[in-house]
Each structure stands twice: as structure tokens, then as C-alpha cells.
């Protein structure tokens, strides 16, 4: 990823910022210039809650180059509370415990390191919702 692209997309990568279409109220992630639902201009910013449910998932055993150290890991389609489906890695969970309908929340985590200087790229992942302990 180039430096300009990194800065331009930081909000959607670090805090799930998308858009809402002012014409049809579709919630869009990632942000788009044109709403795929109605074709209108979609420029109204929307911060998603980061909470959702696992819609589908798969465990990656043979990871692509640069991600071998993380295998096995789970990639899931997460249906956000606001509606959009987001593809993301699940973290802080045993792959055998993942199930459709599992409640998850977005967290910002290290995605990978790049180059000899060890530049760290951060982005969103999802983890199971932490249950609060009653007082």
C-alpha cells in the first residue's frame, strides 16, 4: 500500500467509517462515490458501531506469502448491526469455537510488517464480544 493510499483509507481501516446514502438510506462499507443500491451520490459519513454477527467463516491453513506465521487463522463475513457485510480476520478465538451467529466486535490490530525497517500496518479485525461480569 502506498503512503497516500494508507492515509486516505485510514478511517475505514482503523475505525470502520463508511457512508450512508442520503437518497435511499443504504449503509455502505467501504465508502463509495455512488450508492450501489440506488445509483445516487453517497457522501454522508457514517461511523459504524463495530459490532455484528459472524455470517460465514473459513479457517485458512495455507496462508498467502507474508502471512504464514499467522496460520491457521479464521476469516469471516461479519454482518454489522447497521447492515453491511465486512470480510475480516477473527482474533482472540480458537478456530474450533467460531460459529455462525457468534457475536463479535471490531478491534484494531497489527495486520503485518513490511520491509527491512519493520513498518507495521494496522487495521480492523473482529473478536468475540467480551461478556461483562456482573458487579
Which of 9-13, 18-22, 26-30, 53-57 holds the top average pLDDT? 53-57
Average pLDDT (116-125) is: 79
Taking 60 as the threshold, does the pLDDT of residue 12 lie above it? Answer: no
Query: Is residue 64 domain-shared with residue 122, that is, in the same domain?
Result: yes
Query: Is residue 84 domain-shared with residue 102, that is, in the same domain?
Result: yes
| Domain assignment of residue 104, given as a range | 49-127
Query: Is residue 118 domain-shared with residue 60, that is, in the same domain?
Result: yes
Residue 134 lies in a domain: no
Of residues 81, 86, 84, 106, the one with CA closest to residue 35: 84
Query: Is residue 60 domain-shared with residue 43, that is, in the same domain?
Result: no
pTM score: 0.81
Query: Is residue 63 domain-shared with residue 35, that is, in the same domain?
Result: no
By the 8 A CB rule, do 19 and 41 touch?
A: no
pLDDT in tens, 51-106: 999 999 999 999 988 788 888 999 999 999 999 999 999 999 999 999 999 999 99
Residue 58 lies in a domain: yes
Q: What is the CATH number of the domain that holds 96?
A: 2.40.50
Bigger pLDDT: 120 or 8?
120
Residue 133 lies in a domain: no
Taking 70 as the threshold, does the pLDDT of residue 10 lie above it? Answer: no
Residue 28 lies in a domain: yes
What is the tally of structural domains in the chain?
Answer: 2
Query: Is residue 56 domain-shared with residue 102, that is, in the same domain?
Result: yes
Query: Is residue 60 domain-shared with residue 121, that is, in the same domain?
Result: yes
Cα torsion through 95, 96, 100, 105, rounded to 10: -40
Compute the mean pLDDT over every residue in the chain, rounded to the nearest whole number: 86
Query: Is residue 42 domain-shared with residue 106, that is, in the same domain?
Result: no
Residue 99 lies in a domain: yes
- What integer pLDDT is reported at residue 99 of this predicted model? 97
Amino acid at each position: 500500500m502506498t503512503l497516500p493510499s494508507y492515509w486516505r483509507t485510514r478511517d475505514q481501516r482503523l475505525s470502520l467509517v463508511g457512508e450512508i446514502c442520503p437518497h435511499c438510506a443504504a449503509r455502505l462499507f467501504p465508502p463509495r462515490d455512488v450508492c450501489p443500491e440506488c445509483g445516487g451520490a453517497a457522501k454522508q459519513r457514517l461511523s459504524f458501531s463495530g459490532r455484528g454477527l459472524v455470517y460465514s467463516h473459513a479457517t485458512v491453513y495455507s496462508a498467502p506469502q507474508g502471512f504464514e506465521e499467522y496460520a491457521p487463522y479464521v476469516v469471516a463475513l461479519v454482518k454489522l448491526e447497521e447492515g453491511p457485510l465486512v470480510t475480516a480476520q477473527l482474533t482472540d478465538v480458537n478456530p474450533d469455537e467460531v460459529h455462525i451467529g457468534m457475536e463479535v466486535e471490531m478491534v484494531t490490530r497489527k495486520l503485518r510488517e513490511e520491509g527491512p525497517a519493520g513498518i507495521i500496518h494496522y487495521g480492523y479485525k473482529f473478536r468475540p464480544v467480551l461478556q461483562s461480569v456482573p458487579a
